[in-house]
Amino acid sequence: MAVLICPECGAENTPGDEYCWSCRRALTDVEPVNDAVQDEPLGGHLDELLNSEEDLPGLLHALRQDGNIDGEQGDAEDVQSGEFHDSLGQASSGQSGREEEIPEWLRRIRQRAKQEKDSIGEVTQKISAAQESLADEKRSSQHESYADWIERLHQDFSQEQVAKDSAEGAPTGKAGQLPQTEDPEWLAKILKVHGKSVEKQDLDSLSTERLGGNSLLQWLVDLESGKEKLEPLSEEEPPAAKQSGDAVGEGDQNERTVDGDTTQEIRIKKGTSVKPVLSISRKEQLEADLISATIVDETAPRAMRKFEKPGSPWVIRAAVTVILITALSLSLFSGASTSNLSGSLKPQHRALITWLEQLPAESRLLLVVDYHAGFEAEMALIAQPVLSKAVQASSEFVILSSTESGVLLVDRLLQDIDGFETLVVSNAGYFPASNFAAFGLGAGIDPSWRFVHAPDAVNGLPQGDFEGILVLSDSYDGAKTWIEQLYAQFSEVTINLITTAQAGPLLLPYYESHQLGGLVSGLSEARQMTAYLNVENSTSHLWEAYRTGVLMMIIVIVLGLFFMSDHEGQETDRSKGEKA
Amino acid sequence: MKKNLSVAMAVIIGVIVLAGYFFRDQLGPVLTLIIDWGILLVSVLGLLGIGYLIKSHITKLIKKEKGAFNSVVVLLAFISVLVAGLILSTENDIFQKLILTVQIPVEASLLGVLAVTLMITSLRLLRTRGWTLMSVGFLVSAVISMLVDVAFFQTEPGSPADEILKFWSNLPLIGARGILLGMALGGLLVGLRVLLTIDRPYGED
């Protein structure tokens, strides 16, 4: 069937088409060609070769005439090379001597394809590569069949020779071996075609030089003479092919040099390790550049900028110091404020006072000490009015400490309270972890770590019921632990909290959620409680000093804002100038 | 194996302690054992901390590093307190006064320095952040809170000024509630993660 082959892309078109269906090129100048000739498979020549077992010498002669199997230069590798594939294809398809029959357009395409690998279309390239790969596989199988055929030929000939010898009564050699004195008929034919007469000549005398090196003919002669043994084909590729395969493995397309000729091939190899290629997108490249720039910028040496402390005259500093000390001293000695503060009591204060007033006689109270020595003075001012009222109604205080010096601090605190001497004080000691102590206390646990001569600090958790719990704490975390653990298991017992000013605001929600019965925190609230409970202590005097100190701190902050702001402005201007 | 053992112990003890809130009578003996072990371990941890502190100061002294004189003071103080405690016992009045006479002024001084440092840091906030809404708002809030705390403003009960003053007084409470809610939810989640072995703060990963 005649087809029109597009010279641009190689696609087949039916006769009469004006344009290529693939690339839309005009086909008016294209001559139709016979499809059967184009579709002739490349491997068909080897099939022809296999079908002509009886005429091997003739076939070899034909190959020799074509000059594709050169007895002088050809070698075994040629059989496996693409060059041999091309030569076989040319020989069997009858191209040899018929080059003039190839259409001009097809010749131009082939020539252009050899010069420019991209001249033919991508589809054509892939088809060609697939065809070559298929042809390679077929060729290897045909080579194996070819070797088998030679072996069978050898055996047939041996059997024929043995039968002939036995019929003539001549001595026979070992089965499977050619008689060394006579030439095989088929080999003689080959040699005759090859132009070398071997009559009356042993096969051993056929030297490599005379037969043209490592030619196919030489191999056949060596095979007959026993120099070469037919070995079964192994799965492993020959070194040359293996090397080629490795090279191919680096990419699907590469160039391979065989006997000085450069052959371009595209081959798909199975099982070959493909080296991974690092592909970076533009976005990734930009991010990598940014990271590199950041690292370089961070590690770049810079001149250290000296911080210049703004110098202020010593007279000013001395004057400010004198003013501060004088104001504080005057506030300390000025006397207590006598204003009525009962109206400013907060709900948590009233709740605490109510609890104190309703405390039954001979009550047993648990005193939890969770403050440090630094807050001893503040805690004494805050807790003293509450404890004074509590002592009047209680008969026993059980003291449990979660700070190292808690036992000593509470002793010092209670000694300043009137009526302390009549009070029974049970010291439960110090527990290194407040959460353990709070949980154990709530769970009613009686620890077993009592030792004979151990100090009071390891007396164990207190047991029994309490009419109330007073927690003295200086931090939010410590107070929170006690409140949460005790309320979860002592909900029927009122828990009250006496805390320093810093922890008060954060703990106030516990009062609003009714986990706390009452709460007092800080000196200002202690002053209100003292005034309401009418307890005599130094809270009012210290309150004035505290108030003065806070006011002076506010003044310093406000002045410092403007002063540091000006300084900041100067530094900003200076840095801007440096940058400029 | 060691990892699985620590995981199993943590989960079992956590579940028992959690169940102890609901089944106190049934789990009382087990809870007692757990509390005993816990306090014992914490006490040993304290001893280890003391030992590490002494070792680091001795090393500093031997190598004659900078500040070695301070190490001498620390070691002498430690040894003298230890000897005095062993000789006089912790119940001795002299020993107790000795401890508190040193400890109370030292800690109170540190707290005083801390207050001044906080004041200066708040001033430097403007230097680092500049005159932003947050920095100015922080300082203004601090000043107003201090003024309210020291009863600088005296108002008549029920007057609009009194309402404004109450609003300012309750403003920190609103923030405290938010913080406490966040901490409670965070603590709940952390507890569940530890019990479910999602987090393993007790062992090496």
Cβ distance B32 to A448 less than 8 Å, yes or no, reads yes
Q: What percent of chain A has pLDDT over 90?
A: 8
Cβ distance A443 to B177 less than 8 Å, yes or no, reads no
Q: Which of A369, A568, A574 to mutate to test the interface with B (most CBs of B within 10 A)?
A: A568
Q: Please list, residue by residue across B137-148, b when 16 or more beta carbons sit within 10 angstroms of its beta carbon and e when fewer do.
A: eebeebbeebbb
The SS3 call for residue A253 is: strand
Q: Which of A375, A556, A565 sits opposite B126 (nearest CB)?
A: A565
**And the tokens for A193?**
């075609």
Interval A94-150: pLDDT, tens: 444 444 566 666 777 677 666 655 555 555 566 667 777 777 766 666 656 666 677
**Dist. CA B30–CA B16, nearest whole Å:** 8
Pairing type for strands A494-499 and A518-521 reads parallel
Work out the average pLDDT over A39-67.
49
This prediction has a pTM of: 0.56
**Dist. CA A467–CA A224, nearest whole Å:** 120
Q: Which residues of A touch B123 (CB under 8 A)?
A: 557, 560-561, 564
Say what the pLDDT of residue B113 is: 92
Work out the average pLDDT over A341-352.
79
Interval A285-328: pLDDT, tens: 888 888 888 888 888 777 666 555 556 677 887 888 888 888 87
Q: Is the Cβ–Cβ distance between A74 and A91 less than 8 Å?
A: no
Q: What percent of chain B has pLDDT over 70?
A: 98
Token pair 């109330």 in the structure block, residue = A468
**Dist. CA A534–CA A308, nearest whole Å:** 54
Residue A46 predicted with pLDDT over 90: no
**Dist. CA A509–CA B49, nearest whole Å:** 36
Q: Is the Cβ–Cβ distance between A395 and A423 less than 8 Å?
A: yes
**And the tokens for A237?**
């590729």
**And the tokens for A261?**
């000729």
Q: Is the Cβ–Cβ distance between B24 and A443 less than 8 Å?
A: yes
Question: How many whole angstroms from its chain centre is CA B77?
Answer: 24
Which residues lie across from A261 on neighbouring strands? A258
Supply the DSSP string of A319-378, one letter for each residue: HHHHHHHHHHHHHHHS-------GGG--HHHHHHHHHHHTPPTTEEEEEEEE--GGGHHH
Q: Which of B123, B129, B154 to mutate to test the interface with A (most CBs of A within 10 A)?
A: B123
Q: Which residues of B touch A446 (CB under 8 A)?
A: 32
**And the tokens for B56?**
């680091």
Interval A500-545: pLDDT, tens: 988 888 898 899 888 999 999 988 888 888 888 887 777 877 888 8
**Dist. CA B103–CA B97, nearest whole Å:** 10
Q: Which of B21, B100, B120 sits opposite A412 (nearest CB)?
A: B100
Q: Which of B24, B28, B119 sits opposite A553 (nearest CB)?
A: B119
Residue A253 predicted with pLDDT over 50: no
Give whichever of A155-169, A291-305, A527-541, B110-124 has the largest mean pLDDT. B110-124
Task: Tell whether B130 is within 8 A of chain A (Cβ).
Answer: yes
Residue A284 predicted with pLDDT over 90: no
- Greater confidence (B79 vs A330) lies with B79
Say what the pLDDT of residue A540 is: 78
**Dist. CA A495–CA A503, nearest whole Å:** 16
Q: Quick one: residue B64, left, alpha or beta (phi over 0 = left, psi -120 to 50 = alpha)?
A: left
Q: Which of A376, A432, A547 sits opposite B39 (nearest CB)?
A: A432
CA distance B55 to chain A (A): 22
Say what the pLDDT of residue A519 is: 93
* ipTM metric: 0.83
Which of the 8 DSSP states describes residue A25? Answer: -
CA distance B63 to chain A (A): 31
Shortest CA distance to A516 belongs to which of A545, A490, A478? A490
**Dist. CA B6–CA A567, nearest whole Å:** 57
Task: Tell whether B156 is within 8 A of chain A (Cβ).
Answer: no
In terms of C-beta density within 10 A (0-12 exposed, 13-18 middle, 19 or more buried), how is residue A311 classed? Answer: exposed
Question: How many whole angstroms from its chain centre is CA B106?
Answer: 18
Work out the average pLDDT over B79-108.
88
Say what the pLDDT of residue A29 is: 82
Q: Which residues of A touch B124 (CB under 8 A)?
A: 564
Other Cβ atoms within 10 Å of A402 Cβ, number = 23
Q: Which of B36, B91, B126 sits opposite A449 (nearest CB)?
A: B36
**And the tokens for A88?**
């076989």
Least confident of A187-196, A313-322, B28-37: A187-196
Cβ distance A547 to B151 less than 8 Å, yes or no, reads yes
Which sign, positive or negative, has the C-alpha torsion A456, A461, A466, A472?
positive
Interval A430-474: pLDDT, tens: 887 788 888 877 777 665 555 444 444 455 677 677 889 999 999
Q: What percent of chain B has pLDDT over 90?
A: 22
Q: In chain B, which among 86-105 make CB contacts under 8 A with chain A?
A: 89-91, 96, 99-100, 103-104
Work out the average pLDDT over B158-171.
84
| Average pLDDT taken over every residue of chain A | 70
Shortest CA distance to A402 belongs to which of B46, B150, B13? B46
**Dist. CA A50–CA A145, nearest whole Å:** 8
Over chain B, what HEC string results? CHHHHHHHHHHHHHHHHHHHCCCHHHHHHHHHHHHHHHHHHHHHHHHHHHHHHHHHHHHHHHCCCCCHHHHHHHHHHHHHHHHHHHHHCCCCHHHHHHHHHHHHHHHHHHHHHHHHHHHHHHHHHHHHHCCCHHHHHHHHHHHHHHHHHCCCCCCCCCCHHHHHHHHHHHHHHHHHHHHHHHHHHHHHHHHHHHHCCCCCCCCCC
Task: Tell whether B170 is within 8 A of chain A (Cβ).
Answer: no
- For chains A and B, CB pairs below 8 A equal 136
Which of the 8 DSSP states describes residue A266? Answer: E
Which residues lie across from A2 on neighbouring strands? A34
Q: Provide the edge-to-edge strand list for the sheet that holds A363-370.
A: A424-430, A394-401, A363-370, A468-473, A494-499, A518-521
Interval A464-502: pLDDT, tens: 778 899 999 999 888 998 898 888 877 788 999 999 988
Supply the DSSP string of A491-521, one letter for each residue: TTSEEEEEE-TTTHHHHHHHHHTTS-SEEEE
Cβ distance A374 to B104 less than 8 Å, yes or no, reads yes
CA distance B72 to chain A (A): 23
Instruction: Report residue A12's pLDDT band, with 50, 70 and 90 as the boundaries.
Output: confident
